[in-house]
Structures are given as C-alpha cells and as structure tokens.
Amino acid sequence: MLYDKPHHRTTAPRGASFTLRQFDTDRYGRIVGELIRDGLNLNVEPVRTGQAAVYPKYCPQTRSDYYEAEREARRDELGIWSKPGEQQQPWAYRQSRR
C-alpha cells in the first residue's frame, strides 16, 4: 500500500507500540501482515481515507473490512478517489509496462 505521510504520522507516531500479525512472506522475503495499534488496524485506515487502494491479489475477499473501506472511500470521493480517472493502482501501472 502507498501511505500518505501526514496520515501515517498521526496513526503511527514514533515510540508507539504495535502488534504485527504476520500472515505470509512475499516472493522477496518481506512480511505480509497487518499492524495493529490500540485495536486499530493501521493497514485499513489509509484505505478508509482514500490514501491507498486494496490490492486484490494479496487481499482475499474474506477480508471484507478492506473492501468495505475502499467502497466507502470511493463513494465519498476521498483521497485518490476524489477525481475519477486520475488515479492508477501500482499493479495496473506495472502490468501496463510489461
């Protein structure tokens, strides 16, 4: 996910304690998981505010919280969804460059 820095600073300030829920590792050995702080899933928040999009390849349909957050952000025209056609998901961009 792409994070908007001001949003990230307010939800994940320096010195704060987090819980990492690791689900997997990707093909490069990076952790695939979620950060939780005070019961708040920090991965969902950027999606909810329109600062990130759900990547279906890595987010199963059973994770309805992510998809609902994106639907709401699109409906409310938040962040990247504020101007139709002016956003491009990173995976779509990479695919178009192949």
pTM for the full predicted model: 0.70
Q: What is the pLDDT of residue 86?
A: 66
Q: Are 67 and 47 in contact (CB under 8 A)?
A: no
Whether 80 and 48 have beta carbons less than 8 Å apart is answered as: no
Contacts of 44 (CB under 8 A, 6+ apart): 65, 66, 69
CATH topology of domain 5-96: OB fold (Dihydrolipoamide Acetyltransferase, E2P) (2.40.50)
Q: Domain spans of the chain?
A: 5-96
Q: Which residues of the chain have pLDDT under 70?
A: 1-12, 86
